[in-house]
Structure 1
């Protein structure tokens, strides 16, 4: 059995149910199954090779969902391409994975300019180009492709970062997708009455909810627009029952003018992820929405649901700082630096093994060997497991910043900042932020005699990396604090940045560094 078989079975059981409720109309399971089968046959006709890669760069839409299901239905490998990324980042991923086929909407076409691969356009294409709809029509009635692959075969390659140098692609196997689907259904109790609001990008965490909802005969509600107001409208007017979103969006929904629980009449599962939610915020969210809050802990290397906190787990305030209990098919433990598994309530590195874990990093055996050791995935997170089995995260061994549900790797931002001619050295870090979970900030030491402003450096990074990875604040230092051996003390820099009344600069070379508004640009 393969992940796509959950959808085929649901289409046979609930053919008349609505599978996708999109702005352009509703699509029933039987119609979606016919479309997916036709698109899968079209992909095989374009490239018969099994396990070849198909990149999809598009906004949320019914055609995006159908194209993704078609990739799964023909034994090919899905490579999600974030439409909010920059052209160099997209090109690095394409060059690394060498997809033979690229599915793209018109708004993203510029990101893939010059990239190899046969293009298929969703939505309105440039004149004369192939479209998803035309390919489905041309292969209507074609039998579903048949393939035979082992559980460790690759279902998707998702990238964790690496906008400079070689990107790091996580190879998610079929077994990981199977484990995720079963765990999601078990954790949240999805059924044929579910109406899942597609609020977050399909290229990210939302993808892990596509098949669990479809497996149970539920419906995905696609929005015409992004933003909190559109999400509220979908819940209020289109019967939304469940949604996955970053904490940032949860807070935005609560802050909308006139917002109340009455705007979410059928909501029963509000699942947050991608960033922590402080206990005081958990109280506010539960007071507003009621006992519907849930969360999961995972990472691209073990997608979405290594541990889970169901709404009933939040009834006990002791659990508000936890990220839940281990899901099925996974072992989660805490390990000491010397490789010993630690007893309850001792802090160490969080490690995991089992079906949910990746097979490795695409064409990076050395990185794979550093992360997968004796069957254990080393997550890079520090935490402890209490005597009841609840996992509590303390901090990250890695420097990754999670802002608004997106992963930002400081080294990528540091490398971009370092390209500015006035920057001598810099360090990038995350600070707690009420809205974004964490905010990206940077500390910079300028070259002698050089000059730069905060607004100028922010614009410089934004042009190269896009808005998500752009620092919201830049702190100037005449001399960055260093250890006796000359290493920049990131912890000290971060503490200074977080100190009450901390100035944005102590460097007279940046005396006109007053553009604070620019430093708060939203991702």
Structure 2
């Protein structure tokens, strides 16, 4: 059995049920299955090579979901391309993975300009005919095609998702079929999805939301696509269209609570509000539960072990001892705490969180040395520090890896430092994260300029934004005559971070 088989079986069992409720109309399971089979045939006709890569760069839509399912159905490898990225970042990923087919919507066409690969457009802007094929062409040409048969081992790659490395060599995480199978089973088990589920697709399909597409469809549920972007549209999907479950970053949850006239009655069918991609402080957990009721849950995972290494169900939060926890280990996986010397530590002791089992990646795309380092000794070394208590709950303490999570997106300081360091006035810089009520963390930079050079904060912010996009752009630039250093000359990030915190605290209205 393969991940796509969950969808095929659901289409056979609930052909007349609505699978996707989009602003432009609803699609039932039988119609979606026919569309996916036709698209799979079309993709295979464009490139019959098994396990060839297909990049998809698009916003959330019913067509995006159908295209993703078609990639899974024909035994190809999905490469999600973040539509919020810059053209250079997209091109870097395309050059590394070499997808033979690129699927995109009109809004993302410019991001893929000049990239190799056969083009397949989701629709066309203002009726214009794009270069290459359209999704509609593939559906028409593949109409009536039988469902493909996949014959690949469990360790074959289902997706290559990228984590960090947008400057220099990016790391493409190879997620195998077995990892997707483990995710699907654990999501269904954890959240109790059934044929009455109406899952609101609020976060990007290119990110964590993708791990919920098949679990909901497997049980005959429906994906509800909001009519527009932003918190207002998400609230309307719950209030007016019966949304019952959703995965989103904490930032969006806080925005929903802050909407004018916000009330629990806006969410009449909500039973599972799952947060992830960033931590939620205990005081925020209490506030969210007070507003939405006992529906909050969370998961812990990484791109290298997608989404569900551990699960924290709403009922787990009833115990006040669990407010700082991220749940207990899921099926088909093991979690442990490891000392620097490789010893597994007993309950209550802090060390690195390590994992093994079906959920793990097979490695990083074409990076064998990095793969061996991360999967040393048969364990995934997560780079997170934490402990497992006597009851089996995982509590995270901090991150060994120098990463900032802002608004649910991972930002690697080295990427921002490399971009900022290209400015002719910058002598050296250090990038770090600071706590933020809205975003979880914000990206900050400490900069030392070359003697005699001048550059203001706005100029440096614009310089980075042009190269990396808004997510990785520092919110503040802190200037130093001389950055603090260790005896061997290394910049002390802890010192610049402490100085930035002190500076922000001394200015109450700083933003």
SS in structure 1 at match of 2:297:
strand
Structure 1: distance between partners of 2:145 and 2:212: 27
Structure 2: distance between partners of 1:292 and 1:123: 37
CA contact under 8 A between 1:246 and 1:275: conserved in structure 2?
yes
Instruction: Give yes or no for the alignment of 1:366 onto 2:361.
Output: no
Q: Report how far residue 224 of structure 1 moved.
A: 2.7
Give RMSD over aligned pairs. Answer: 1.1
Structure 2: distance between partners of 1:474 and 1:385: 37
> What is the TM-score when the length of structure 2 is the normalising length?
0.98
Map 1:26-425 onto structure 2 (within 5 A). 26-124=26-124, 126-129=128-131, 130-425=133-428
User: What is aligned with 2:442?
Assistant: 439
Distance 1:49 1:416, change over 3 A: same
User: What is aligned with 1:16?
Assistant: 16
Map 1:450-469 onto structure 2 (within 5 A). 450-469=453-472
SS in structure 2 at match of 1:170:
strand
CA contact under 8 A between 1:444 and 1:474: conserved in structure 2?
yes
Select between 142-151 and 113-122 the one with higher mean Cα deviation: 142-151
SS in structure 2 at match of 1:499:
helix
Structure 2: distance between partners of 1:498 and 1:141: 62
Q: Report how far residue 456 of structure 1 moved.
A: 1.1
Structure 2: distance between partners of 1:491 and 1:170: 30
Q: Report how far residue 284 of structure 1 moved.
A: 0.5
Question: In the TM superposition, what whole-angstrom CA distance separates every residue of 1:423-480 from its partner, at most 9, and x where no partner exists?
Answer: 1000000111111011111100111011111111111111110000001111111111
Instruction: Give yes or no for the alignment of 1:484 onto 2:493.
Output: no
SS in structure 1 at match of 2:405:
strand
SS in structure 1 at match of 2:346:
coil
> Can you give the 5+ residue segments of structure 2 that lack an aligned partner in the other structure?
none
Structure 1: distance between partners of 2:506 and 2:490: 23
CA contact under 8 A between 2:121 and 2:130: conserved in structure 1?
no
CA contact under 8 A between 1:54 and 1:103: conserved in structure 2?
yes
CA contact under 8 A between 2:350 and 2:385: conserved in structure 1?
yes
Question: In the TM superposition, what whole-angstrom CA distance separates every residue of 1:482-509 from its partner, at most 9, and x where no partner exists?
Answer: 11111111011111111265579xxxxx
Structure 1: distance between partners of 2:227 and 2:462: 30
SS in structure 1 at match of 2:189:
helix
Structure 2: distance between partners of 1:225 and 1:287: 28
Structure 2: distance between partners of 1:134 and 1:195: 30
Select between 221-230 and 333-342 the one with higher mean Cα deviation: 221-230
Distance 1:416 1:15, change over 3 A: same
CA contact under 8 A between 1:496 and 1:502: conserved in structure 2?
no
Structure 1: distance between partners of 2:243 and 2:415: 37
Q: Report how far residue 138 of structure 1 moved.
A: 1.5
SS in structure 1 at match of 2:326:
coil
> What is the TM-score when the length of structure 1 is the normalising length?
0.96
Instruction: Give yes or no for the alignment of 1:474 onto 2:477.
Output: yes
Structure 2: distance between partners of 1:329 and 1:133: 39
CA contact under 8 A between 1:483 and 1:489: conserved in structure 2?
yes
SS in structure 1 at match of 2:325:
coil
CA contact under 8 A between 1:475 and 1:503: conserved in structure 2?
no
Question: In the TM superposition, what whole-angstrom CA distance separates every residue of 1:96-132 from its partner, at most 9, and x where no partner exists?
Answer: 0000000010110011101000000002254254211
Structure 1: distance between partners of 2:228 and 2:478: 35
Q: Report how far residue 161 of structure 1 moved.
A: 1.4
CA contact under 8 A between 2:375 and 2:381: conserved in structure 1?
yes
Moved over 6 A (4+): none
Structure 2: distance between partners of 1:236 and 1:10: 27
Question: In the TM superposition, what whole-angstrom CA distance separates every residue of 1:255-295 from its partner, at most 9, and x where no partner exists?
Answer: 00000000000000000001110000011000000000000
CA contact under 8 A between 1:94 and 1:115: conserved in structure 2?
yes
